[in-house]
Structure 1
Amino acid sequence: MDLSSLQRLVWENKVRKGYNTTDAPLEFCMLQENVATAFAAWRKQEELLGEELADVVLYATSIAEMTGLDLQHEVKKKVDKNAARPD
């Protein structure tokens, strides 16, 4: 699945379930909480690391949609920029 499709699916799920679709600061806080949870899972070598990292991606796609960004485009731009940097 590409990021653009994922971004749409995540957003549609949020709308369908009545989750937050307007409070960007709250989404950033939830993203931060999920990053911390993923770190704790990694540190404790828990099997939930994959699930927690998936949550991080889902919150990032939600924020992108909420703020009108095409995350797939932004990621590609950043990858290209990083590749062009000198070693």
Structure 2
Amino acid sequence: MDVGSLQRIAWDNKILKGYNTTDVPLEFCMLQEKAAAAFSAWRKRKELLGEELADVVLYATSIAEMIGLDLQYEIKKKVDKNSARSD
């Protein structure tokens, strides 16, 4: 699955379930909460780490959709930029 498809699937699920689709600051707070949960899973309950990291990705894709950002394009651009760095 590509990032663009994931972004649309995550967004469609939010709409279907009646989740937040307008409050960007709230989504960033939820993303931080999910990142913290992933860190805790890594430290304590590694069997949940994959699920928690998936939540991080899903929240990031949802934020991108909320603000009209093509996350697949942005990721590609960032990977290319990192590849060109000499450090």
User: C-alpha deviations, 1:1-56, integer Å up to 9, x for none?
Assistant: 00000000000010111100000000000000000000000011420000000000
Structure 1 segments of 4+ aligned residues over 6 angstroms from their partners: none
Correspondence for 1:48: 48
Instruction: Give the distance between the partners of 2:44 and 2:18, measured in 1 at CA.
Output: 33
Instruction: Give the distance between the partners of 1:21 and 1:38, measured in 2 at CA.
Output: 23
Q: What is the RMSD of the two structures over their aligned residues, measured on CA atoms? A: 0.7
User: Please, which runs of 5 or more residues in structure 2 have no aligned partner?
Assistant: none
Correspondence for 2:69: 69
Instruction: Give the distance between the partners of 1:45 and 1:32, measured in 2 at CA.
Output: 18
Question: Percent of aligned pairs with the same residue?
Answer: 78
Please give the residue correspondences for 1:6-21 in structure 2 after superposition, counting only pairs within 5 Å.
Answer: 6-21=6-21
User: Please, which runs of 5 or more residues in structure 1 have no aligned partner?
Assistant: none
Query: When the two structures are superposed, what TM-score results if normalisation uses the length of structure 1?
Result: 0.97
Instruction: Give the distance between the partners of 2:76 and 2:27, measured in 1 at CA.
Output: 23
Letter in structure 2 aligned against 1:78: K
Correspondence for 1:58: 58
Does residue 23 (structure 1) correspond to residue 53 (structure 2)? The answer is: no
Work out the number of aligned pairs and report it: 87
Instruction: Give the distance between the partners of 1:13 and 1:3, measured in 2 at CA.
Output: 15
Letter in structure 1 aligned against 2:20: N
Query: When the two structures are superposed, what TM-score results if normalisation uses the length of structure 2?
Result: 0.97
